[in-house]
Amino acid sequence: MTWYADLSPYEYSAGSVPAGAEALNVGWLEAPHEFPRGTVPPEFVEALGVLCRDDRREVMRGWQNCTFEPGRDPFDPPPSIQVGDRTVQLGNGEVRVTTPDGRWLIAPTLVHHYVTAHFYRPPEEFIEAVTTRRAAPAGA
């Protein structure tokens, strides 16, 4: 997995962000780096699941897995979630939302697992953007 500090400049797939857009990292976690923990609103978790199902970006052939579970075989598929009647595999793409001032917040889909299994609390602006379903423009 790749670790980036929350709200640091996004660089994982920087060429996929439109010129002039300010893009920031959220939820690029990896052991042994610490991260903020806490509760999040249930409507955020629900909206994040829908975003992971319906609006994944930068989908890759391989996947990244959770490094916070000792004994997990790194070659096992990453966690999946159930959203409605679909099973959604995490760890092979990103979700992208925007703040009211136009900044892009980009997280790996594995962020859903970090929130629900490890109590990761993303920055407030990410929670707000996901909850209000303000996805970044597609095809940008």
Distance (Å, rounded) from C-alpha 123 to C-alpha 120?
A: 10
Angle between helices 111-118 and 42-54 (to 10 degrees): 150
Domain count across the chain? 1
How much is the pTM? Answer: 0.93
Residue type, 29: L
Domain extent for 72: 14-131
List of E strands, 49-124: 80-83, 86-89, 94-98, 104-108
Token duo for residue 131: 């909850």
pLDDT band with cut points at 50, 70 and 90 for residue 84: very high
- Residue 4 within a domain: no
> What pLDDT sits at residue 140?
54
- Residue 77 within a domain: yes
The 10s digit of each residue's pLDDT in 12-49 is 888 899 999 999 999 999 999 999 999 999 999 999 99
- Residue 137 within a domain: no
- Residue 120 within a domain: yes
- Residue 107 within a domain: yes
Is residue 63 over pLDDT 80? Answer: no
> What pLDDT sits at residue 127?
98
> What pLDDT sits at residue 17?
93
Distance (Å, rounded) from C-alpha 2 to C-alpha 10?
A: 12
> What pLDDT sits at residue 116?
97
Distance from chain centroid for Cα 52: 8
- Residue 126 within a domain: yes
> What pLDDT sits at residue 1?
57
Q: Work out the percent of the chain whose per-residue pLDDT is above 90.
A: 74
- Residue 99 within a domain: yes
- Residue 136 within a domain: no
Mean pLDDT of the region 120-125: 98
Average pLDDT of the chain, as a whole number = 92
**Of the candidates 97, 90, 108, 102, the residue with the CA atom closest to the CA atom of residue 12:** 108
